[in-house]
Each structure stands twice: as structure tokens, then as C-alpha cells.
Amino acid sequence: MPELPEVEVVRKSLHEKIKQKKIKKVIVRNRNLRIKIPLDFESFLRDQKVIKIDRFSKYLIFHLSNNSYCLIHLGMSGTIHLIDLNKQNHLTNTSFYHSPILPPKHNHIEIIFEKSKIIYNDPRRFGFFQIIKNLSLLKKRLNHLGPEPFQSKFNLEYVLSFFRGKEKNIKNYLLDQNFVSGIGNIYANEILFLSKINPNTKVYLLKKKDCEKIINISKKVLTNAIKKGGSSIKNFKNLSGKNGSFQKNFKVYERKGLNCKRFKCEGVIQKKVISNRSTFFCNICQK
């Protein structure tokens, strides 16, 4: 599943390519996504201008000219593909597949502009498109989510208050979108390594300095990942067809059995399953 950095990379690409563009036509080939596409979806979007594209957590938000919104979540395997209609060979430049040719089987939605179109492809159909009629309803729709790591609300007072008396381990909380939005499994592993915190540590045992590390390092890791175009796992690419490169910076993720990269640490990276998620950590420096 794309995490905050990958969704932000897609957002930037889309914003650059389709902002202020008018939607000419919408084609829905399969309405049975995680949230069923309504029958008036095509007519609602037709002739609307995409004013800008925002993001919150792992959600893309299209601002439409009638002051409504189209909320998009990519789910586990959803990808958005930008096609230039002026080119004869309509090859996708951001493929989930090993081929630049996008198999039509899972092309569920097309949004067509004057000179380009975007295709939503999703083999598992866990993603969704949802029309939100106004700003009040958008805020209500996202109200269950915690703050993003970049927001001022994600501060020491908030974290200490949230953790007080809680029994779950810190890895689970970093993945809990009600606590903090946008962090997924890859970045939770990296954040905990750089914070020198064992992923199994119960949050009520964390000291003030530990919480400060988590807050600051979360911001740094995600900022760095965005700058490097995200992590290219399973062929993730941005809408310009470029691979992300943050995977070259992994300290623990997918490094089971390898030596710890921390200076003078003699540890070996371990792998355990915590709440059905692969968890990687150093057996020496993450105590």
C-alpha cells in the first residue's frame, strides 16, 4: 500500500499535470470498488474543472470548480496512470506491472481531459473514489484520522496524552491512523530504528525523550522520502515515470539477517511479525 510519501509524490505529479483542466468525459468500467461508484458519478464530474489536488494522510483530494471534492484512496494495489492523448503509443508512465503497457483488465475508471486522461487501475479493488459535496462534509469524512506528522498538533503534549495508560506497543500506534495519519509499515520500521526504540515497547513505558525522538524523526524520515520520490517497492513510480529512491536509504526494512548500519553497532537485523505486519529491527541498538 502506498504510504504518505508515495501518495504525496503522485499528488505533486497530478497537480502539475491536470490542475485547472476541465473534465470532458468520465468512463466507469467497474463500480465495485471498496466503496461502490454511484450511478451519477460520471455526470457529476463531467464539465468540472480540477482547481487543484491536495492530500491528507494517504488520501488524494481533487478540488472541483463547483466547490465539491473527489476523494481518492489507492488501497493496496491502486495506481493512477497519466496518458498523453497526443501520443500514438498510449503507454503508461507509472506502472504496477513489469510492462509499460497497461493491461486493460483492471482499468476501472478513466477521467478524460482535452489532451490527456488519467486511468485508475486496481487489481484488488481496495481503493475508492468518493464524491464529497462540500467542505463541511469533507472535514467530517476525514475527522476519524489523527494529525499528520507534519502538523503542529503532532507535538509532545498530544503524544504523551495519547499514550497515557495505553498498553499497546509503539509499532502498532505508528500504524494506527487514529493516532497519526500517513505512516505505514515501511516508514514505521525506519522511524523506530532511527529513534533507537524497540518496536515491541509498550507506549506507557516510553520516556519523554523517546516521544520527542519519534515526533522529530517521523518528520525527517517522511520529508526525506518525499524528496527522494518515495520508496519503489513493487515498481512504484511517479507520474513522470521515475522510480522512487528512498529504498536505497533503508536501515532495517527488508534487511533481515544483515549487519546493522549504525556506526560501531555489532547487531544483526531481526524480523518478527507484529499484528500481521513484518517488523524489522536491530537486536542490539533497539532496546
Which is catalytic among the residues 3, 8, 148, 190?
A: 3
Give yes or no: 5 in active site: no
* Residue 58: active-site member: yes
Q: Which 3 state secondary structure label does DSSP give 220?
A: helix
Query: Of 82, 52, 54, 80, nearest to 64 (Cα)?
Result: 52
Length of the chain: 287
- Phi first, then psi: give them for residue 22, nearest 5 degrees: -90, 135
Give exposure, 93-118, as e/b (b: 16+ Cβ within 10 Å): bbbbeeeeebeeebbbbbbbbeebbb
Largest CA distance in the chain: 62
Q: Is 3 a catalytic residue?
A: yes
The active-site residue, picked from 2, 5, 149, 199, is 2
Tell me, yes or no, if 22 is annotated catalytic: no
CB atoms within 10 A of CB 201: 16
Q: Identify the active-site residue in 58, 117, 228, 237.
A: 58
Positions marked catalytic: 2-3, 58, 277
